[in-house]
Amino acid sequence: NSFCTLLAWSMKSRSSPGQVPAMPPAISLIAHRGNKKLYRAESTTMDVDDRYDVLSVIGRGSYGVVVKCDDAVTGRRVAIKKIEHVFADLIDGRRIWRELTVLRLLRDAQARNVMAVSRLQQPTEDLSRFQDIYLVTDLYTGDLTSVPVSHLTHIGARTGAAKPTLGDGLRCVLADVLTGVADMHALGIIHRDLKPQNVLADSHNRFFLCDFGLARGGLERVASLPASFTDHVVTRWYRAPELLVMGGYHYPIDVFSVACVAAEVALKKPLFPGRDYLDQLRLLAGGPPPPGG
């Protein structure tokens, strides 16, 4: 239900070759009041600054809706996510606050290869009635699961190789992901939920980390390492062994997750697809499967 999941939905909902493409969800301008435009986007409304022209809905989840827009000020195409009812649930509210805080830290530090947030739209209503957040970001084409393996050769052209290979493409993906991880770790932040769905792609075949709702900051101030934090983080298939045995953990859990993501891209299937907690332990204890296995 994260921003990344919503963007992935927009890619996977496209028609296959030979099919009649589905009509995009209806967008209608309801009112133009002062410096605000009120749009109806499917079953919700979007109250956006008048610099934005809403074009289409590209994703929807339990947190809200994501729309594609033209920005008249910058001349660029952007995405706006409306996060609805941010104070309705305490756990969700904390996760949203954590993500916004981490994204701001990363932006202010000019961290590379992380989802670019350009601005947080100011609320129009009185603060006593404030309940929705509008987050403006760069526009992405999908997540890593939407990139066909055959496209890796094309991505590999970034290396300058005369005849790029799948391996060249995978190295480009990893270079981008690890750059984002390195900058994040340098700021004392662990992502704690790295997986293919949390790696976004843009139209220039570059890759960016997203979904920082489970991230943990302030680790540069932790005296003893590894430290004890919440164990219920990281999707099971990408979870490091120290998390499964509920031990202390630190930056290496992100590196383990990246390795699992890289293997999944290369093998076209998850490396450790455990059915449950015990099965995940069994697969990790057995080590990686042999090539072609």
Which residue, among 210, 209, 203, has the nearest Cα to 81 in the 3D structure?
210
Residue in the structure block whose two tokens are 């947190």:
63
How far apart are the C-alpha atoms of 14 and 11, rounded to whole Å? 6
Q: What element of type H or E holds 47?
A: strand 44-49
> What's at 185, amino acid-wise?
H
The secondary structure of residue 5, as a DSSP letter, is H
What DSSP element (H or E) covers 255?
helix 252-267
- Catalytic member of 193, 231, 276, 279: 193
Q: How far is 230 from 227, CA to CA, in rounded Å?
A: 10
- 37 marked as binding residue: no
193 is annotated as an active-site residue: yes
* β-sheet bridge partners, residue 41: 27, 44
| Burial (CB count <10 Å: 0-12, 13-18, 19+), residue 194 | buried
DSSP 129-184: G---EEEEEE---EEGGGS-GGGHHHHGGGGT-SS--HHHHHHHHHHHHHHHHHHH
Of 13, 24, 4, 55, the C-alpha closest to 213 is 4
- CA–chain centroid gap for 167, Å, is 24
Cα R_g (the chain), whole angstroms: 20
To 10 degrees, the CA torsion angle through 134, 136, 139, 143? -60
Q: Please list the active-site residues.
A: 193
- Binding-site members for ATP are 82
Q: Which residues are annotated as a binding site?
A: 82
